[in-house]
Amino acid sequence: MFFRCLLLALYLFSPFLSNAQTREIDSLRQIIHLHNRDTSELSARIHLIYILTRVGKNDIAMREARDAARLADSLNSAFWLSSAYTYLVHLHQETGQIDSARQYLAKAEALARSNKGNMKTLVNFLRSAGLFYKNQGEYKEALKYMLESVEVWDKRGEFLAGQFLNLGNVYINLGDFKNAADYHLRALRTFEEINNTRGQAYCLQSLGSDFQSMKQYTTAKTYFERALKLKEQLKDDRGKLTSLLSLGDVHKDLEEYKKATEYYDDGLAMSTRMNAKGMQAHIW
């Protein structure tokens, strides 16, 4: 549950509720409606917010996060309170309420700094701060918090892999492609250790972009090819389309125009099937 509370936006999710998600929400609401006012209720509330955020139900998620924060505060539960604050930062930022997001971020920091022995609470805040400043375009500020998060949390796993990936993305925004590649490679190795194929695919695609930006086109091509292979295994059509277009671009950079055209043609055919007009514009 800890990692689920933290990982707000590593993957792309459908905006629609599946039948399984609907059943899960119903099950969680049954636990909440027992009104036990204990950690089991808090866990159910935070899990519910996680699902609602995934499917874009931000208004409902906001109400649930406020309720969770009040309950956690009444129970003097620092970790669950920090989890609720994390979601409130994210949701207010998503809905353009930046001042409110900053207020909840300040609350999360005060809570974390006053509970120094609670590492999970500190990491909750650090990750939330890093993503907040990244999304605000304040990349140097984001970097400060993200670097601290990987210093204090050294357990190998999905959270650390996600933070390495986020760090790589921040370095891209700063134009530091060498450090971007370094952290994307760290993320790749960590995702490989935990057998997370989707995470590996994201890292390989990012590494291809890093090396393409550094004009190391042959290396970039290799990473894009590896990303495409994994996305085919995952049956990730949108991800596959991105890799096809990237391969078209890198072959064009290599002046291998026939091969570039083949990838663009494959990408155009796929984007037409998917009605992905934005991707079609990239090709034209």
**Between 276 and 227, where is the model more confident?**
227
What pLDDT, on the 0 to 100 scale, is given for residue 58? 93
Under a CB-based contact definition with an 8 Å cutoff, are residues 2 and 124 in contact?
no
**Spatial CA neighbour of 95 closest among 64, 53, 131:** 53
| Residue 25 pLDDT grade (very low, low, confident, very high; cuts 50, 70, 90) | confident
Helix, strand and coil percent figures for the chain, each rounded to 5: 80, 0, 20
pLDDT-derived band of residue 23, with 50, 70 and 90 as boundaries?
A: confident
pLDDT mean over 75-96: 96
More confident residue, 8 or 168: 168
- Report d(CA 126, CA 118) in Å as an integer: 13
Mean pLDDT, the chain, whole residue set: 90
For residue 64, name the pLDDT band (cuts at 50, 70, 90). very high
- pLDDT tens track for 123-161: 999 999 999 999 999 999 999 999 999 999 878 899 999
**Confidence band for 255, pLDDT divided at 50, 70 and 90:** very high
Instruction: Name the maximum alpha-carbon separation found in the chain.
Output: 66
Segment 225-234 mean pLDDT: 97
How many Å apart are CA 184 and CA 262, to the nearest integer?
Answer: 28
Instruction: Say which residue, 186 or 16, is predicted with more confidence.
Output: 186
The pLDDT tens digits of the residues spanning 236-253 come to 999 999 999 999 999 999
Q: How far is CA 3 from CA 34, 124, 158, 273, 281, in A?
A: 25, 10, 7, 36, 37
Above 60 in pLDDT, residue 15? no
pLDDT number for residue 272: 87
Q: What is the pLDDT of residue 266?
A: 94
57 CA to centre of own chain: 17
Please give the share of the chain, as a percent, with pLDDT higher than 70.
Answer: 90
Matching residue, tokens 């924060």: 69
pLDDT at 280: 52
Q: Which residue has the higher pLDDT, 58 or 278?
A: 58
- Give the integer Cα–Cα distance in Å for 72 and 82: 9
Supply the pLDDT for residue 279.
Answer: 58
DSSP state of 15: S
Of the CA atoms within 13 Å of residue 253, those in its CB half-sphere come to 19
**Each residue of 155-202: pLDDT tens digit?**
889 999 999 999 999 999 999 999 999 999 999 999 999 999 999 999
**Residue 281: its pLDDT value, please?**
53
Whole-model pTM: value is: 0.79
Q: How far is CA 126 from the centre of its chain?
A: 14
pLDDT at 215 over 50: yes
- Count CB atoms within 10 A of the CB of residue 175: 9
How would DSSP label each residue in 222-258?
HHHHHHHHHHHHHT-HHHHHHHHHHHHHHHHHTT-HH
Mean pLDDT of 25-54: 90
CA dihedral 227, 228, 233, 234 (to 10 degrees): 70
What pLDDT score does 17 carry? 58
